Structure 1
Amino acid sequence: MQSLRERQKQRRRERIYRSAIQLFKELGFQQTTAAEIAKASHVSRGTFFNYYPYKEAVLLDYGKELLDRIWQESKAELEAGAPPLEVLYRFWERLAEASEHEIGRELLSHLAHELVNPDPERARAAYEALPLGERLAEILKPLKAAGKLRTDLSLERMANSIADTYLLAVLRWAGHTPHRSLKEELFKFLAIVLEGVLAR
């Protein structure tokens, strides 16, 4: 059972989080200040930083929430006996749609940059919040067990290679090819990587 104090802290964090995401979408990430987030969530600026040490940390919670939702759908499909490759394609499609339409180009760009942040502490926090490689490994695991993946590469290496294509596609799309569909770009990258990991 949570104490009253713990529940209050949880509700305060949720209020800060929801206010921040709403402001990011309305005003833009760069234009939104910590002071504005604090005002919208009825806390002090210092309290905001007690919960989130930097603005991008709010985006990590947002990305985690979406990834968790997508993973739960895919996990249910795996447990129901759906073919893993089909689950992978549907997982990838949901990820593309959430990235493009729910997160959006600007927020996605900042979120992706956290994964390559030159500050190792922040990069590690991003990878821990967004365990895309681990989720992909869970989907690929039955294929590995069935001998349908290469045997000279670890499951972790193959899953992380697919996860890295997501990051590369997102950064390229957000910065250089905004006129293209992120979903189409992601599936092109996935096709290339699967050529390299499926057993022949």
Structure 2
Amino acid sequence: MRQPSDAEAGVTTRRGRNKERARKRVYASAITLFRHKGYAETSVAEIAEHADIARGSFFNYFPRKDALICAWLKERRATLTRRLGTHLRCGMHVAESLGTCMSVLGALNEEDLDLSLAMLTAWVQAGRPLDQEPHLEAVFAEIVECGRTRGEVPDALDSGQVGELLRDLYIGVLCRWARRPPAEQHSLGADLQQALDLLLHGIATPAGPHHGRR
């Protein structure tokens, strides 16, 4: 089988770089439009025009419009991982680590509010909560497992199950926060911390079986 020449390999590499640059330009155009118009209100034709390509060329980079949601989620995961690596310190108590994680998630959503709301709406409408990759629960589960090995949480706890529960808590708080009118929205980070505190400390008093009975 004939090996490609250096010239042919160079052409292939250059084409790959050009395609990746064009893909990034299409993605950046889409994000700009989603931020200002919303996901549902932005068409593929508008994205292509903004990126200065033919409408049909859009599909050379993304098979469908909703593939942009996956691209955005992948970028969001990378940002979250990077920021958690900066903020989480070895030796933190599990409660402090989880609180830090919720703070980072809150800030990540609030710093570009229009885009976060547009993409959250698109994510729900596209059914992504049903087939999402198990990333966020794995982040929570790792924190819980570290706490379990240090004796900060009961040995009987399933770290994976707790990770799923914390993921559900985050998504629930995020969705309720997003539904509020702008005038009624306050800190997402504060809402997440309040929900986490409720989960960690419980809702029942540590009383005996007959406490409060008359």
Residue number among 99, 106, 116 corresponding to 1:96 in the alignment: 106
| Matching residue of 2:95 | 85
Question: Structure 2 residue aligned with 1:106, among 117, 121, 126?
Answer: 117
Corresponding residue for residue 180 of structure 1: 185
Question: Are 2:39 and 2:118, in contact at CA under 8 Å, matched by a contact in 1?
Answer: yes
Q: Give the one of 7, 32, 36 matched to 1:26.
A: 36
1:17 — aligned with what? 27
Name the amino acid aligned to 1:59.
Answer: I
Using the alignment, how far apart are the partners of 1:154 and 1:177 within structure 2? Answer: 38
**Counterparts in 2 of 1:59-74, with a 5 A limit?**
59-74=69-84
The answer to whether 1:3 aligns with 2:7 is: no
d(CA) in 2 for partners of 1:167, 1:112: 11
Query: Shift of the alpha carbon at 1:177?
Result: 6.0
SS in 2 for 1:171: helix
| Equivalent pair of 2:84/2:104 in contact (CA under 8 Å) | no
Query: How big is the shift at 1:78?
Result: 4.4
Structure 2, unpaired ranges of 5+? 1-8, 207-214
Give how far 1:145 is off. Answer: 0.9
For normalisation by structure 2, the TM-score amounts to 0.74
After TM superposition, the score normalised by the length of structure 1 is 0.79
**Structure holding more helix per residue:** 1
Q: Bigger radius of gyration, 1 or 2? A: 2
Count of matched residue positions in the alignment of Structure 1 and Structure 2: 190
Aligned counterpart, 1:151: 155
Q: Deviations over 1:93-129 (max 9, x none)?
A: 1210111232435324325416x81x8xx842xx22x
Q: For the residues of structure 1 that align with 2:57 and 2:137, how far apart are their CA atoms?
A: 33
User: 1:141 Cα deviation (Å)?
Assistant: 2.3
Q: Name which of 37, 42, 64 aligns with 2:47.
A: 37
Whole-angstrom distance in 2 between the partners of 1:80 and 1:73: 14
Where does residue 139 of structure 2 map in the other structure? 135
What amino acid sits opposite 2:124 in the alignment?
A: H
Alpha-carbon distance in 1 for matches of 2:88, 2:117: 33
